[in-house]
Chains A and B, each alone.
Chain A
Amino acid sequence: MAKINLNRESMPRQDPKVRAKNFNEVALGYSAEQAKAEASRCIQCPKHPCVGGCPVDIDIPGFIKAIRDDNMPEAVRILKSKNSLPGICGRVCPQETQCEAECTLDKKGAPIAIGRLERYVADWERANMSSAASSVTPPKPDGYKVAVVGSGPAGLTAAADLAKLGHRVTLFEALHVAGGVLMYGIPEFRLPKEIVRAEVDYVASLGVEIILDTVVGKTTGVDEILNNGYRAVFLGPGAGAPMFLNITGENLNGVYSANEFLTRVNLMKAYRFPEYDTPVRVGKRVGVVGGGNVAMDAARCALRLGAEEVYIVYRRSEVEMPARREEVENAKEEGIQFRLLTNPKQFIGNDQNWVAGMECYEMELGEPDASGRRRPIAIPGSEFILKVDVAIAALGTRPNPIIPSTTEGLMTSRWGTIIADEVSGRTEKPAVWAGGDIVTGSATVISAMGAGKRAAADIDKALRG
Chain B
Amino acid sequence: MYQILLKEDIVPNIHLFKIAAPNVAQKAQAGQFVVIRIDEKGERIPLTIADWDREEGSVTVVFMEVGTTTHRLAQLRQGDSIANFIGPLGKPTHIEKFGTVVCVAGGFAVATIYPIARALKETGNQVVSIMGARSKDLIFWEDRLRGTSDQLIVTTDDGSYGRKGLVTEPLKELLEAGGIDRVIAIGPSIMMKFSAKTTEPFGVKTIVSLNPIMVDGTGMCGCCRVSVGGATKFVCVDGPDFDGHEVDWDLLLARQRTYLDEEKLSFEQWQRRRAESSG
A residues with CB within 8 A of B = 174-176, 184, 212-215, 218-220, 240-242, 244, 246, 250-251, 253-254, 256-257, 259-260, 263-264, 268-269, 273-279, 281, 352-353, 400-402
Return the 10 tightest CB-CB contacts between A and B, nearest first: A279-B262, A353-B254, A260-B221, A257-B222, A277-B43, A240-B220, A176-B84, A213-B86, A274-B266, A242-B222
Question: Once bound together, how far apart are the Cα atoms of A220 and B26, in whole Å?
Answer: 9
Residue of A213, A240, A250, A263 contacting most chain B CB atoms (<10 Å): A213
Taken together as a complex, chains A and B put the C-alpha atoms of A446 and B233 apart, in Å, by: 33
> B220 and A401: CB pair below 8 A?
no
Asked, given contacts A251-B251, A253-B254, A274-B262, whether A401 binds B237 with beta carbons under 8 Å apart, the answer is yes
Q: Are B222 and A218 in contact, with the CB atoms below 8 A?
A: no
B160 located at the interface, meaning its Cβ lies under 8 Å from any Cβ of chain A in the complex: no
Measured in the bound complex, the distance between the Cα atoms of B117 and A271 in whole Å is 43
- Cβ contact within 8 Å between B88 and A279: no
B268 closest partner in A (C-beta):
A274
Q: How far is the CA of A401 from the CA of B234 in the complex (A)?
A: 12
B263 & A400 in contact (Cβ 8 Å cutoff): no
Say whether A402 contacts B255, CB under 8 Å: no
- CA A220 to CA B88, docked complex, whole Å: 10
Q: A152: shortest Cβ distance to chain B, in Å?
A: 12
Instruction: Report chain A residues within 8 Å CB of B222.
Output: 242, 244, 256-257, 259-260
Q: With an 8 A cutoff between CB atoms, is B100 at the interface?
A: no
Question: How many residues of B are counted as interface, with CB atoms below 8 angstroms from the partner's CB atoms?
Answer: 42
CB within 8 A of B225: which of A174, A251, A274, A402? A251
Task: Say how far A178's CB is from chain B's closest CB, in angstroms.
Answer: 13
B133 within 8 A of A: no
A274–B269 CB distance below 8 A: yes
Q: Nearest residue in A to B217 (C-beta to C-beta)?
A: A215
B42 touches A263 (CB 8 A): no
- B43 and A268 form a contact (CB under 8 A): yes
B93 to chain A, nearest CB (A): 16
**Chain B residue contacts of A278, Cβ below 8 A:** 43-44, 215
In the complex, chain A residues whose CB is within 8 Å of the CB of B262: 273-274, 279, 281
A188–B252 Cα distance when bound, in Å, is 32
Chain A residues with CB below 8 A from B269, complex form: 274
Residue from A244, A256, A279 whose CB has the most chain B CB atoms within 10 Å: A279
Q: Which of B218-270 contact A (CB under 8 A)?
A: 218-223, 225-227, 232, 237, 250-251, 254-255, 257-259, 262-263, 265-266, 269
Alpha-carbon distance between A264 and B215 when the two chains are bound, in angstroms: 8
A263 close to B218 (CB less than 8 A): no
B residues 42-67 near A (Cβ < 8 Å) are 42-44
Q: Is A277 touching B86 in the complex (CB atoms < 8 A)? A: no
Partner of B23, one of A214, A253, A402: A214
Known contacts: A219-B88, A273-B262. The answer to whether A174 contacts B44 by CB under 8 A is no
Contact between A353 and B220, CB atoms less than 8 A apart = no
Task: Verify B221–A215 contact, CB threshold 8 A.
Answer: no
B218 touches A402 (CB 8 A): yes
Considering the chains assembled together, what is the distance between the CA atoms of A212 and B83 in angstroms?
A: 11
B182 within 8 A of A: no
A257 adjacent to B219 (CB under 8 Å)? no
Does B132 belong to the interface (CB within 8 Å)?
A: no
> B41 in the interface, Cβ–Cβ < 8 Å?
yes
Interface residues of B (CB under 8 A from A): 23-24, 27, 37, 41-44, 68-69, 83-89, 215-216, 218-223, 225-227, 232, 237, 250-251, 254-255, 257-259, 262-263, 265-266, 269
A215-B89, A353-B251 given as contacts; is B41 within 8 A of A220 (CB)? no
- Name the A residues within 8 Å of B23 (CB-CB): 214, 219-220
**In whole angstroms, what is the CA distance A181 to B216 when docked?**
13
Chain B residues near A241 (CB, 8 Å)? Answer: 219-220
A268 and B263 within 8 A (CB):
no
Q: How far is the CA of A17 from the CA of B215 in the complex (A)?
A: 32
Q: Known: A242-B221, A260-B223, A276-B41. Is A402-B237 also a contact (CB below 8 A)?
A: yes
7 contacts between A and B (CB under 8 A): A174-B218, A175-B216, A253-B254, A253-B255, A275-B41, A278-B43, A278-B44
CA distance A425 to B93 in the complex (A): 36
- Chain A contacts of B258 at CB under 8 A? 253-254, 281
Whether A257 and B257, one on each chain, are in contact in the complex, defined by CB atoms closer than 8 angstroms, is: no
- Chain A residues near B43 (CB, 8 Å)? 268, 277-278
In chain B, what residue has the closest Cβ to A259? B221
Residue pair A251, B232 in contact (C-beta under 8 Å)? yes
Give me 5 other A-B pairs in contact (C-beta within 8 A), A176-B83, A277-B68 excluded. A175-B216, A242-B221, A251-B227, A263-B215, A263-B220
Cα of A276 to Cα of B42 in the assembled complex, Å: 6
Given A253-B255, A400-B220, A401-B219, CB of A273 within 8 Å of CB of B266: yes
Residue of B nearest to A273 (CB): B262
* Chain B residues positioned under 8 Å from A242 (CB to CB): 220-222
> Least Cβ distance of A434 to chain B in Å?
18
Inter-chain contact A277/B237, CB cutoff 8 Å: no
Across the two chains, which residue of chain B brings its CB closest to A405? B237
Q: Which residues of A contact B44 (CB under 8 A)?
A: 176, 268, 278
Expressed in whole angstroms, the Cα–Cα distance for A220 and B89 within the complex equals 11
Hey, which chain B residues are within 8 Å of A219, CB to CB?
23-24, 27, 86-88
A219 vs B218: C-alpha distance in the bound complex, in angstroms? 12
Taking the nearest CB of chain A, how far is it from the CB of B254, in angstroms?
A: 4
Closest to A212 in B: B84
Query: Which residues does chain B contribute within 8 Å of A218, judged by CB atoms?
Result: 27, 87-89, 218
Q: What distance in Å separates the Cβ of A223 from its nearest Cβ neighbour in chain B?
A: 13
Chain A residue with Cβ nearest B257: A253
Determine how close the nearest CB of chain A comes to the CB of B182; give it in whole angstroms.
26
Residues on the A chain within 8 Å of B227, using CB: 251
The answer to whether A244 touches B259 (Cβ under 8 A) is: no
- B218–A400 touching, CB < 8 Å: yes
* Contact A279:B263 (CB < 8 A) given known A241-B220, A251-B225: yes
Q: What CA separation (Å) do A277 and B251 show in the bound complex?
A: 25
Q: What is the bound-complex CA distance between A376 and B221, given in angstroms? A: 28
> Which B residues are in CB contact (< 8 Å) with A281?
258-259, 262
- Residue of A250, A257, A259, A274 contacting most chain B CB atoms (<10 Å): A274
The chain A residue with its CB closest to the CB of B269 is A274
Closest to B24 in A: A219
Known A176-B37, A241-B219; judge A251-B255 contact (CB<8 A).
yes
- A44 → chain B, closest Cβ, in Å? 45
Residues in A whose Cβ lies below 8 Å from that of B257: 253
CA distance A257 to B27 in the complex (A): 30
Q: How far is the CA of A214 from the CA of B87 in the complex (A)?
A: 7
CB of B69 within 8 A of CB of A263, answer no
